[in-house]
């Protein structure tokens, strides 16, 4: 998970970015809104941690700019006590959550985990996602292929869900690892490849496309429909 930390306080910025890196996040630390603006133009972030009291322009203005540019990147604002008196103002400005200084590191990590869960869920957990013959039921965490239930392990489901929810984007191996594992989990070096191997075997080879040098992508609807058609016995 790649984070943008915007904090002008050297001590706090340094401590926060260190803790985040140690917790497995990829962190870019900017000290001004100007630098943060440039950063969001050149990279895609999974979440932004934003101090409201910045030297150049107020953090509020930066959030409004992001939202008017139709950015959906979750923003967690960091405020001094008393700086932000009500939640309504926070939501009005387009932020997703907030932390009041001085905050606990464990609280910050919990907020980030919540952001990640919302991202993974793609908003609506009761949702059924359909890609040709593939149906992914998020609430029951079950999968049907051509109308038949297919038993997947939890991790296989997570891989498939991540690819389905981010379609048609290519998801890198690192992003999959990020989506699948907690920060303290031990990861076998080839585990993602193993899950993908089993998903292809249980569903079909075309269900996950390897994009050389970039990662994986869910197979396109026509290719999956064609696979199902071809697998059915034709007229004698």
Output the smallest distance, CB 54 to Ca ion, in A. 6
Binding part of the chain for Ca ion, among 1-9, 106-114, 135-143, 214-222 by CB under 5 A, reads 1-9
Using CB positions, name the residue nearest to Ca ion.
Answer: 53
Residue 99 C-beta: closest distance to Ca ion, Å: 13
Angle at which helices 173-180 and 191-202 cross, to 10°? 90
Residue 83 contacts Ca ion per CB under 5 A? no
d(CA 227, CA 179): 28
* C-alpha span between 154 and 159 (Å, rounded): 9
Centre a 10 Å sphere on the Cβ of residue 102 and count the other Cβ atoms it contains: 8
The smaller minimum CB distance to Ca ion, of residues 7 and 97, is found at 7
84/28 Cα distance (integer angstroms): 25
Of 8 and 65, which has the nearer Cβ to Ca ion?
8
122 binds Ca ion (CB under 5 A): no
In the bound state with Ca ion, the residue whose beta carbon lies nearer, of 82 and 234, is 82
Of 2, 35, 39, 53, which lies in the binding site for Ca ion, with binding defined by CB under 5 A? 53
CB of 61 to Ca ion, least distance (A): 14
Interaction between residue 8 and Ca ion (CB under 5 A): yes
When asked if residue 46 is in the footprint of Ca ion (CB under 5 A), the reply is no
Minimum distance of Ca ion from residue 41's CB (angstroms): 22
Q: Supply the minimum distance, in Å, between the C-beta of residue 107 and Ca ion.
A: 18
User: Is 51 an interacting residue with respect to Ca ion (CB under 5 A)?
Assistant: yes
Neighbours of 68 (CB within 10 A): 9
* Cβ contacts of 77-83, under 8 Å, gap ≥ 24: 77/50, 77/51, 77/52, 78/7, 78/49, 78/50, 78/51, 78/52, 78/103, 79/51, 79/52, 79/53, 80/52, 80/53, 83/52, 83/53
Interacting residues toward Ca ion by CB under 5 A: 8, 51, 53
């Amino acid at each position: 998970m790649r984070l943008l930390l915007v904090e002008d306080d050297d001590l706090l910025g340094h401590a926060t970015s260190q803790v985040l890196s140690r917790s497995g996040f990829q962190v870019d630390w900017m000290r001004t809104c100007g630098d943060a603006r440039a950063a969001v133009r050149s990279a895609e972030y999974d979440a932004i941690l934003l101090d409201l009291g910045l030297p150049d322009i107020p953090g509020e203005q930066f959030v409004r700019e992001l939202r008017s540019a139709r950015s959906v990147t979750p923003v967690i604002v960091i405020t001094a006590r008393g700086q932000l008196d009500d939640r309504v103002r926070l939501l009005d400005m387009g932020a997703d959550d907030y932390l009041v200084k001085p905050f606990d590191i464990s609280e910050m990590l919990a907020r980030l985990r919540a952001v990640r869960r919302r991202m993974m869920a793609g908003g609506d957990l009761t949702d059924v996602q359909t890609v040709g013959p593939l149906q992914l039921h998020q609430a029951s965490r079950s999968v049907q292929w051509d109308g038949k239930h297919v038993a997947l392990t939890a991790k296989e489901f997570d891989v498939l869900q991540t690819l389905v929810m981010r379609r048609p984007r290519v998801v890198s191996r690192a992003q999959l690892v990020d989506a699948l594992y907690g920060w303290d989990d031990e990861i076998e070096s080839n585990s993602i490849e193993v899950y993908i191997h089993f998903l292809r075997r249980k569903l079909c080879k075309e269900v996950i496309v390897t994009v050389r040098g970039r990662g994986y992508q869910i197979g396109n609807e026509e290719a999956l429909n064609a696979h199902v058609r071809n697998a059915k016995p034709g007229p004698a």
